[in-house]
Structure 1
Amino acid sequence: MEAEISASVADRSDSRVRNSGKLAIAAILILGALIIFAATALGLAAPFYPYLDIINHFRLPILLSTGGLFIVAWFARIRSLTVPVAIIAGINMVLAAAPLAYLPSSAPQASLRIATFNVWVGNKDLEGVLDFIKQSGADIVVLQEVDARLEAQLVPALLTIYPSVTSCARRNCGLVLLSKTPSLKAGYSDRTRHEPPLIWATFSSARGKAFTVTGLHLAYPFQPDWQVSQARFLGERFRNVTGTQILVGDFNLTPFSWKLNRLIAETELRRHATFGATWPSHKFAPLVLLDNLLATPDVKSAAASYGRSGYGSDHRPMIFDVAFD
């Protein structure tokens, strides 16, 4: 009898422990679901409050976190939470998939390689930057955050490979465009609150097709009003432009950003990278894709690849292989 009583007491104790553990898991899941739901809802308000677009940059981490909550709820057998968590996950899946509507056509082989790299104005590993550029095999290279110091140390070391240079590094622009072949015409414009710094050059392809490459560097994510104005300027500039156009550089906007998707919708440009990450690469594993290439629909994508972290910058460089119709 005493043994039976002891066993009964032990069973009740184990049951209380299991219930307490389940309640603790449920509380954590509810808190996590509420945070993710709030973040998702706030991100949807970005068209009205541009600062909230920062949340949308982290769409993929939010989606992965929601998936993790669902898995925990499922295996913990907390069925009352699996449905609402699944709904939140579904909403984020739709939002993550929406940018796929703006993908370019694919090409089996590239006819042009373009590299973009925000080298960071305080970069000390210039040998690493030079090694990347020399080994990239790029026909055209667009660099951001280049000041007079970086220009003086980088450009002369690359002239044998890239004899054609357009630079506004010594102005309120900070961009350099390097090319293996001479441009037909080139220019640049400085940064203002309403216009991002731009650098551009028009080239002729092997088939005689003229195309223009424009390098840019939009305002930082914590300057949302500047970003809105600068994205609007780009929309107006490229909505009515004719000919083959390629925009490449540091957009400071991810593929899930409301501002970037509005720009693409207005101009009918196509985005050549979606899933990946280029920032931050100097302290942590990159989380978001801030660097990209947009182009007119006649520019097809053969590949988009990422350089390694490091090279003295907080951004990873990117290489785009494209082909023309």
Structure 2
Amino acid sequence: MSQLPTLRQLQFLIALSEHGSFSRAAEAVFVTQPTLSAAIKELEMTLGTVLVERGARGAVLTHAGEAVLERAQRVMAEAEDLVIAAQAAGEPLSGPFRLGVIPTIAPFLLPKVLPTLRIKHPKLEVFLREDLTERLFDGLRERRLDAALVALPYESPLIETKSIWSDEFLFACTPDHPLAGSKTLDPSRLENEPLLLLEDGHCLRDHALAACSTGTARSDFAATSLHTLVHMVKSGLGATLLPRMAVDAGLVDQMGLEVMPFDPPVAGREIGVAWRKGSARAEEALQLGEAIRESLTGSGSAGEATG
């Protein structure tokens, strides 16, 4: 059997590609420059080709080096998954866990569920990243995140999801709005209503338009956050749809707005957990989603858990 590269050699090659010099790469992986240089030379001898062009201004990968680098990154990622899978099998939901959350969920959900998670899983270290869904999915695909809490439906290649909670939409307006105080509210009544929504890129905008497909959005008054949105409504610029999760968390408290539910069947969005297809932490992502669902059920928050 032919001699194979070692993971250490592949790690050094990746570091060299990232830092562009032997000295900086060696510093990044905590070895001396001669040690890293010798390992790269051994890797070149094992593969029978030159991987790095060495010069006074640094080190640049050859065409062969770039081809090897792409595979080296996949091998290292799989090796990391192997370690994670072994650790998770021994003690799931422990150690570092990189969790992404969209902005229309993070400030309203996390304060409710994180304290419970810490109690139930004291060895779990959650590192949070708040961002839009598409960028969170990029992070999942590129293995920078282990899981993400997002609003569904949202289809994306190589990403799997599971719904854990139903979050209905509520209609919010000023007390003098024609629909304020309505005993019944069907989405069809918003046919000519200029709704104020979040700017493009926020999945909540798409979900709100889907829930009230006959409504129209005033793009000239698109908001960047739900907090900005409710202030725009308070100023009389229009009405909007808000997730119950945000309302229950106090988003419109002391704002003097009318907030009304829609008639059944209730329009809304699903809160779900997402992970990279084939991820070694897929089972942990599901367990985390279940733990969050149980936390919400115990908190008495409005909404229904989904299977």
Q: TM-score scaled to structure 1, two decimals?
A: 0.26
TM-score by length of 2: 0.27
Higher relative contact order (CA 8 A, sep 6+): 2
